[in-house]
Amino acid sequence: MNGFERNAISQNSTLDAGMHREWSELTPSGYQNRVIDDRLGKLLRAFGAVEIVGPKWCGKTWTALRHARSADRLDDAATFDAAMTDPSLVLTGAEPHLIDEWQDVPSVWDAARRHVDENANHKGQLILTGSSMPKDRTAIHHSGTGRMARLRMWPMSLSESGDSTGDVSLSSLFDGTFSPAERQTDIAEIARWCCRGGWPASLGVEDEFAMEAPGEYIASVLDVSVPKLGKNPQTARALMKALSMNVSQAPTYSTLATDMSYGDDDRRPDEQTVKNYLDMLMDLYLLTDLSGWDPPLRSKRRVRTKPKRYFVDPSLPAAILGASPRTMMRDTQTLGDLFEVLCLRDLNVYLSAMSGTGNRIAYYRDEKGLEVDVVIELADGRWGAIEIKLSDLKVTDENAGKLLSFRDKICGNPAAQVREPEFMMFLVGRGKKAYRRRDGILVVPVATLGA
């Protein structure tokens, strides 16, 4: 096992339960603050263990090390062998103790749950990180409910990378607080952000080199992760290409299968294969589904509306499509779709900092074609509606009227008893000022938005 990391901090180190804490000596040099840092700290004071899940390269290990006092990393061969022999061997150390990439030895999960129980379920014992669901899920017998919390991590938002001022707080909007802000952004900058992506390793790296990272990421997934899960890299690549062609849409299995065949019926996979490979990409945390929204809670439309499928970062479909900032300046339709992926990434990041396990992001579409890009609903019933536009030039009275019609339809039914939205907003790419229109709708450049 990695004895240096396991014994780096004395066993007497504990979490500071106050408002301020000293960061761990394991904190990597040059660590960039992440939105979930505070949320992770709170969960460690509430649960015996916390699992951080998310795609590779998004910064899970670095964030975990910032909070951990000791660590075992299962990508180390000796540590992996020890865990395979006896999972309890990688669970001890100064607390919180990190087990990195636990899914490589699925039996670690049940061992961690027992470890928390045997130590009187006191808080902040373990941090686990995972870049995929374990291949052998039969090795897991207990959910860990009540003992182990889960925290989803995403690639960096614009506020985390320093590209957004963060002056407009998403959480404050739900509290009814909004202050005007300003940050000039043009289309070229949006295209650049979509191609670079939110990968921590690209911070401070020139565009020429940073834009190589997403392509290498895709290659790593296809060459390593996909075969490891027992799937065919060529089929996975075809599906990722089909998803990229239908980015920000709600394609059926049939549509994806057709696009995967490239016009050759002999290459067309069956729909069950498409579903299996979609599940695999979800297990790798590369995709996120946006489900349909409609109050009240028992509405059948929540179940019947097809999910929209998004990559977790716009740079992935950009790399798969071979897009560059220059080519997307001539293809604003594709750029607009990728910008929507960027907005969904950032909104998910900012929402992850907010308390509540029932918080969710969805979209709305009714039988008459009225559609709203994003509805954020908190566990306590508060909600907000967001339309995503590549440019503030698209913020017209006509488009505002659609948002107002949506609000009137949702809130105008006395039987549904739906509260008024906390806010309605145009989230824009190109723009300069965050302001409130006379009709009450906010116009917010994404480069002013934060947690």
User: Structural domain boundaries of the chain?
Assistant: 3-152, 158-450
Q: Please name which of 197, 234, 190, 191 lies closest in space to residue 212, comparing C-alpha atoms.
A: 197
- What is the average per-residue pLDDT within 342-354? 97
Q: What is the pLDDT of residue 296?
A: 58
* Per-residue pLDDT band at 193 (split at 50, 70, 90): very high
Q: Is the pLDDT of residue 53 over 50?
A: yes
208: helix, coil or strand? helix
Q: What is the pLDDT of residue 356?
A: 85
- Round to whole Å and give the CA distance between 218 and 210: 14
pLDDT digits (tens, 9 = 90+) for 289-344: 999 997 755 555 554 578 999 999 999 999 999 999 999 999 999 999 999 999 99
- What is the average per-residue pLDDT within 19-28? 68
Q: What is the pLDDT of residue 430?
A: 98
Q: What is the pLDDT of residue 185?
A: 97
234: helix, coil or strand? helix
- What is the average per-residue pLDDT within 36-48? 96
Q: What is the pLDDT of residue 86?
A: 97
Handedness of CA 171, 174, 178, 183 (dihedral sign): positive
Q: What is the pLDDT of residue 211?
A: 96
- What is the average per-residue pLDDT within 221-241? 96
Say what percent of the chain tops pLDDT 70.
92
Q: Which fold has domain 3-152?
A: Rossmann fold (3.40.50)
Amino acid letter for position 349: V
- What is the average per-residue pLDDT within 151-163? 98
Q: What is the pLDDT of residue 57?
A: 94
More confident residue, 217 or 266: 217
* Per-residue pLDDT band at 144 (split at 50, 70, 90): confident
Mean pLDDT, the chain, rounded, equals 91
DSSP states of 37-104? HHHHHHHHTTSSEEEEE--TTSSHHHHHHHH-SEEEETTSHHHHHHHHH-GGGGS-SSSSEEEETGGG
Q: Is the pLDDT of residue 18 over 90?
A: no
Question: By mean pLDDT, which of 12-26, 30-44, 170-184, 336-350 is the weakest?
Answer: 12-26
More confident residue, 135 or 52: 52
Q: Is the pLDDT of residue 222 over 90?
A: yes
Q: What is the pLDDT of residue 297?
A: 53
- What is the average per-residue pLDDT within 434-448? 98
Q: Please name which of 185, 191, 187, 189 lies closest in space to residue 327, comparing C-alpha atoms.
A: 191
Q: Is the pLDDT of residue 5 over 70?
A: no
Q: What is the pLDDT of residue 301?
A: 55
**pTM (2 decimals)?**
0.92
Q: Is the pLDDT of residue 82 over 50?
A: yes
* Per-residue pLDDT band at 385 (split at 50, 70, 90): very high
pLDDT digits (tens, 9 = 90+) for 407-427: 999 998 777 678 999 999 999
- What is the average per-residue pLDDT within 117-139? 88
